[in-house]
Amino acid sequence: MIQVTSHMRVLVAVEPVDFRRGIDGLGRVCREVLHRDPFSGWVFVFRNRRAKAIKILVYDGQGFWLCQKRLSQGRFRWWPAATGTLESHQLPVLLSGGDPAAAKGAAVWRRVDPRE
Protein backbone atom coordinates (compact mmCIF):
# COMPACT_ATOMS: atom_id res chain seq x y z
CA MET A 1 0.00 0.00 0.00
CA ILE A 2 1.19 3.45 -0.83
CA GLN A 3 1.18 5.85 2.08
CA VAL A 4 0.58 9.40 0.94
CA THR A 5 2.22 11.70 3.46
CA SER A 6 1.60 15.39 3.97
CA HIS A 7 4.83 16.43 2.24
CA MET A 8 4.03 14.56 -1.00
CA ARG A 9 2.80 16.58 -3.95
CA VAL A 10 -0.16 15.29 -5.94
CA LEU A 11 -0.57 16.25 -9.61
CA VAL A 12 -3.85 15.51 -11.39
CA ALA A 13 -3.78 15.21 -15.19
CA VAL A 14 -6.80 16.80 -16.88
CA GLU A 15 -6.90 14.86 -20.13
CA PRO A 16 -7.91 11.21 -19.95
CA VAL A 17 -5.25 8.63 -20.77
CA ASP A 18 -5.37 5.23 -22.43
CA PHE A 19 -5.49 2.76 -19.54
CA ARG A 20 -3.65 0.15 -21.57
CA ARG A 21 -0.56 2.16 -20.71
CA GLY A 22 1.61 0.82 -17.96
CA ILE A 23 4.36 2.39 -15.89
CA ASP A 24 6.54 3.32 -18.88
CA GLY A 25 3.65 4.80 -20.87
CA LEU A 26 2.37 6.87 -17.96
CA GLY A 27 5.92 7.96 -17.17
CA ARG A 28 6.13 9.24 -20.74
CA VAL A 29 2.89 11.19 -20.20
CA CYS A 30 4.44 12.72 -17.07
CA ARG A 31 7.47 13.90 -19.02
CA GLU A 32 5.90 14.94 -22.33
CA VAL A 33 2.43 16.20 -21.36
CA LEU A 34 2.71 17.24 -17.71
CA HIS A 35 6.37 18.36 -18.02
CA ARG A 36 7.32 16.70 -14.75
CA ASP A 37 9.92 14.08 -13.89
CA PRO A 38 8.22 10.78 -12.98
CA PHE A 39 11.19 10.03 -10.66
CA SER A 40 10.47 13.17 -8.60
CA GLY A 41 8.37 11.40 -5.96
CA TRP A 42 5.24 13.30 -6.96
CA VAL A 43 1.97 11.36 -6.99
CA PHE A 44 0.53 11.46 -10.53
CA VAL A 45 -3.21 10.83 -10.92
CA PHE A 46 -4.80 9.89 -14.25
CA ARG A 47 -8.33 8.94 -15.27
CA ASN A 48 -9.78 7.06 -18.20
CA ARG A 49 -12.11 8.54 -20.82
CA ARG A 50 -15.31 7.24 -19.21
CA ALA A 51 -14.25 8.58 -15.77
CA LYS A 52 -14.92 5.19 -14.17
CA ALA A 53 -11.30 4.49 -13.23
CA ILE A 54 -8.25 6.26 -11.84
CA LYS A 55 -4.59 5.25 -12.02
CA ILE A 56 -1.92 6.54 -9.66
CA LEU A 57 1.79 6.50 -10.50
CA VAL A 58 4.44 7.28 -7.90
CA TYR A 59 8.15 6.60 -7.52
CA ASP A 60 9.19 5.73 -3.95
CA GLY A 61 12.96 5.87 -4.37
CA GLN A 62 13.33 2.16 -5.18
CA GLY A 63 10.76 1.65 -7.88
CA PHE A 64 7.40 2.67 -9.25
CA TRP A 65 3.98 1.98 -7.79
CA LEU A 66 1.06 1.79 -10.19
CA CYS A 67 -2.36 1.57 -8.59
CA GLN A 68 -5.78 1.52 -10.19
CA LYS A 69 -9.25 2.04 -8.77
CA ARG A 70 -12.28 1.24 -10.89
CA LEU A 71 -15.72 2.13 -9.61
CA SER A 72 -18.34 -0.60 -9.74
CA GLN A 73 -21.09 2.01 -10.13
CA GLY A 74 -21.10 5.63 -11.18
CA ARG A 75 -18.28 7.89 -12.25
CA PHE A 76 -15.73 10.20 -10.72
CA ARG A 77 -17.77 13.39 -10.92
CA TRP A 78 -15.14 15.91 -9.92
CA TRP A 79 -12.17 16.49 -12.17
CA PRO A 80 -10.10 19.66 -12.56
CA ALA A 81 -10.54 21.88 -15.60
CA ALA A 82 -6.81 22.61 -15.67
CA THR A 83 -3.87 20.45 -14.61
CA GLY A 84 -3.22 21.20 -11.02
CA THR A 85 -2.07 19.95 -7.68
CA LEU A 86 -4.04 18.56 -4.79
CA GLU A 87 -3.09 18.55 -1.14
CA SER A 88 -2.30 15.08 0.18
CA HIS A 89 -5.44 15.02 2.36
CA GLN A 90 -7.58 15.64 -0.75
CA LEU A 91 -6.44 12.49 -2.59
CA PRO A 92 -8.50 10.04 -0.49
CA VAL A 93 -11.54 12.23 -1.08
CA LEU A 94 -10.98 12.03 -4.84
CA LEU A 95 -10.50 8.26 -4.66
CA SER A 96 -13.80 7.98 -2.78
CA GLY A 97 -15.60 9.74 -5.62
CA GLY A 98 -15.95 13.01 -3.73
CA ASP A 99 -15.02 16.62 -4.41
CA PRO A 100 -11.50 17.34 -3.12
CA ALA A 101 -12.18 21.09 -3.21
CA ALA A 102 -14.75 20.57 -0.45
CA ALA A 103 -12.24 18.81 1.81
CA LYS A 104 -11.07 21.23 4.45
CA GLY A 105 -7.68 20.71 5.98
CA ALA A 106 -5.02 22.62 7.84
CA ALA A 107 -2.92 25.07 5.90
CA VAL A 108 0.18 23.49 4.39
CA TRP A 109 2.51 26.08 5.87
CA ARG A 110 2.12 29.10 8.04
CA ARG A 111 4.53 31.47 9.67
CA VAL A 112 5.02 30.81 13.37
CA ASP A 113 5.42 33.96 15.40
CA PRO A 114 7.93 33.32 18.22
CA ARG A 115 6.22 36.04 20.33
CA GLU A 116 3.04 33.95 20.64
User: Contact 72/79 with Cβ under 8 angstroms?
Assistant: no
pLDDT at 48: 93
pTM summary value: 0.83
Q: Please list the rounded mean pLDDT of every run of 10 residues in the chain (116 residues).
A: 78 92 95 94 93 94 93 88 80 84 70 72
pLDDT at 109: 65
Q: What is the secondary structure of 24-67 as a DSSP string?
A: HHHHHHHHHTS---GGG-PEEEEE-TTSSEEEEEEE-SSSEEEE
Please report which helix (H) or strand (E) contains residue 86, including its range: strand 84-86
